[in-house]
């Protein structure tokens, strides 16, 4: 179905696929399908994910080829200044209920793709359909395309949330979205106890449906969500979830007469979206309670309307947090930063002043100031003006060349977060071992968590068969242009 006669691309986006657990599963002989793809192609172990390392932001970058300063999806949780409310795309059910379940559902299932994701930057689906090239999206969080489709919510979900049973959205030519929009009309793996189809088995079943009917378009993106929750609970070294993903991949490859046959006319891409950092087992150590650290400020409850008497808003994205001042003349960002610097579990504290980003830390003294366009250049060809303590972001500079340490592509990833949405805010990042706590935010004590700038959150593997080419740079940011070059 690819009009150019080139190979069809099948991208399997695996939430929280990390190289360390992938290697462990292969070493133990528990991931034969992934091993088969690597042996017949190549693996990049350290692709850089966007920041914050939350799936909605990562997937927005994957589809648009730009960071959040341009695609405008800041993270999983953020404050919409224009509407004077917190937007949450699904961190925790308790949070969603307090914020208003109906509004939260509208944000997740409609506003995210159609109002919040910038229309100034076309998704890969929109780009290709403009060239009369079909694409497919299976269970992905971000999916915007050009074709009007109907999303039908299950009766029970509609009853509980207050959502209308049917809404219209814009999606690719071939679109699957759990129980709400299926390619295969059978109800396998799509009942409410199976997360209404938002599970790996449903994704695999939908992809197999296309393969068996010779309906694969030029590009198919299929999302496998299950591994994420297992790593959250069991920790970043647990490889059992990779084994389960591999079993689904085996089922998909078994659709062909042989696994070798599956490679003939297809380019297979298996890609993680973010990593996860380990979290301490001691709850008192692991959780950075921002309400306690900022107890002298008035922070509104999630269920309450935000009023002029409120001072600070907390939007936690697990190991990263946006901290907003609602009165920047009275509640200075620099003063908030000084308070947070007293906690040595916080390794990056940043804010914007004019066109520059100022960075301090809870683990070391000093300040770093940077902005684009200057005498220093990094490995991605980006130029920067830098002054102050480069150790805060673990930067090394040799003959005006910047090398990144434990914070990959730190300058661009941090800088762009300050132009992703309106407001006066800090961006704070926790050291590995710790995550932020606000009113009802999810916690992962003794497990693993993401959202942060650190390499544990940020580096993901990519497996490719069917082409020897690679993205221009080893970043998710560069994947869209690379895929377009293959079609």
**Residues 318-331: what's their mean pLDDT?**
96
pLDDT at 1: 47
Question: Would the pLDDT of 94 be above 90?
Answer: no
Residue 84 lies in a domain: no
Residues 224 and 301 in one domain: no
Structural domain including 315 reads 283-446
Report yes or no on 83 lying in a domain.
Answer: no
Q: Are residues 156 and 185 in the same domain?
A: yes
Same domain (yes/no): 433, 463: no
Least confident of 45-49, 279-283, 327-331: 327-331
Do residue 393 and residue 479 come from a single domain? no
Q: Are residues 43 and 136 in the same domain?
A: yes
Q: Are residues 65 and 171 in the same domain?
A: yes
Residue-level pLDDT at 183? 83
pLDDT(197) > 70? no
List the CATH number of the domain containing 45: 3.40.720.10
Using pLDDT thresholds of 50, 70 and 90, give the confidence band for residue 193: very low
Please give the Cα distance from 129 to 123 (Å, whole number). 10
Same domain, 432 and 346: yes
If asked whether residues 180 and 45 sit together in one domain, one would say: yes
Residues 393 and 472 both lie in one domain: no
Q: Looking at the structure, do residues 145 and 212 belong to the same domain, yes or no? A: yes
Confidence (pLDDT) at 187? 63
Is residue 103 one of the residues assigned to a domain? Answer: no
pLDDT tens, 183-192?
Answer: 887 666 544 4
pLDDT at 194 > cutoff 80: no
Same domain, 410 and 478: no
Averaged pLDDT, 311-332? 96
355 occurs within a structural domain: yes
Asked if 476 and 389 sit in the same domain, the reply is: no
pLDDT, average across residues 407-428: 98
Residue 59 in any domain: the answer is yes
User: Residue 467: inside a domain, yes or no?
Assistant: yes
Amino acid 68: pLDDT: 98
Tell me how many domains the chain contains. 2
Q: Is residue 143 part of a domain?
A: yes
pLDDT single digits (tens) 123-148: 999 999 999 999 999 999 999 999 99
pLDDT, one tens digit per residue, over 245-294 is 999 999 999 999 999 999 999 999 999 999 999 999 999 999 999 999 99
- Residue 294 maps to a domain: yes
Q: Which residue has the higher pLDDT, 346 or 179?
A: 346
Residue 61 banded pLDDT, cuts 50, 70, 90: very high
Q: To the nearest whole percent, how much of the chain has pLDDT over 90?
A: 85
């Amino acid at each position: 179905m690819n009009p150019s006669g080139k190979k069809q691309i099948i991208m399997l986006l695996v939430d929280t696929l990390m190289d360390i657990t992938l290697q462990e599963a292969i070493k133990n002989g528990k991931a034969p399908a992934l091993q088969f793809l690597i042996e017949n192609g190549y693996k990049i172990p350290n692709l850089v994910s966007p920041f914050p390392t939350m799936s909605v932001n990562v997937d927005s970058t994957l589809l648009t080829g730009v960071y959040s300063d341009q695609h405008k999806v800041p993270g999983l949780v953020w404050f919409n200044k224009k509407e004077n409310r917190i937007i949450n795309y699904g961190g925790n059910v308790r949070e969603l209920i307090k914020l208003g379940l109906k509004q939260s559902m509208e944000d997740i299932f409609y506003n995210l793709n159609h109002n919040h994701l910038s229309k100034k930057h076309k998704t890969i689906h929109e780009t290709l359909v403009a060239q009369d090239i079909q694409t497919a999206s299976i269970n992905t969080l971000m999916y915007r395309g050009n074709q009007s489709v109907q999303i039908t919510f299950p009766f029970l979900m509609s009853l509980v949330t207050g959502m209308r049973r049917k809404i219209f959205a814009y999606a690719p030519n071939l679109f699957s979205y759990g129980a709400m929009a299926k390619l295969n009309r059978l109800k396998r793996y799509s009942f409410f106890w199976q997360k209404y189809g938002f599970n790996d088995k449903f994704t695999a079943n939908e992809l197999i449906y296309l393969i068996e009917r010779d309906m694969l378009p030029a590009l198919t993106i299929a999302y496998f969500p299950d591994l994420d929750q297992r790593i959250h609970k069991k920790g970043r070294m647990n490889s059992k979830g990779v084994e389960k993903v591999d079993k689904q991949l085996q089922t998909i490859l078994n659709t062909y007469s042989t696994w070798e046959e599956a490679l003939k006319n297809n380019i297979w891409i298996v890609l993680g979206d973010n990593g996860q950092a380990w979290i301490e087992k001691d709850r008192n150590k692991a959780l950075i309670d921002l309400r306690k650290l900022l107890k002298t400020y008035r922070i509104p409850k999630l269920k309450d309307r935000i009023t002029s008497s409120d001072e600070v808003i907390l939007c936690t994205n697990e190991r990263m947090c946006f901290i907003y001042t609602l009165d920047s003349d009275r509640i200075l960002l620099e003063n908030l930063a000084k308070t947070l610097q007293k906690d040595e579990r916080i390794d990056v504290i940043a804010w914007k002043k004019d066109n520059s980003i100022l960075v301090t830390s809870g683990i070391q003294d000093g300040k770093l100031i940077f902005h684009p366009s200057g005498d220093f250049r990094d490995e991605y060809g980006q130029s920067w003006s830098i002054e102050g303590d480069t150790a805060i972001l673990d930067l090394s500079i040799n003959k005006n060349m910047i090398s990144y340490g434990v914070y990959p592509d730190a300058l661009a990833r941090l800088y762009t977060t300050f132009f992703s949405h309106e407001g006066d805010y800090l961006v704070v990042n926790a050291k590995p071992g710790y995550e932020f706590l606000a009113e009802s935010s999810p916690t992962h004590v003794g497990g693993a968590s993401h959202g942060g700038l650190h390499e544990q959150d940020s580096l993901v593997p990519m497996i490719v068969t069917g082409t020897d080419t690679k993205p221009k740079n080893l970043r998710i940011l560069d994947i869209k242009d690379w895929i377009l070059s293959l079609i």
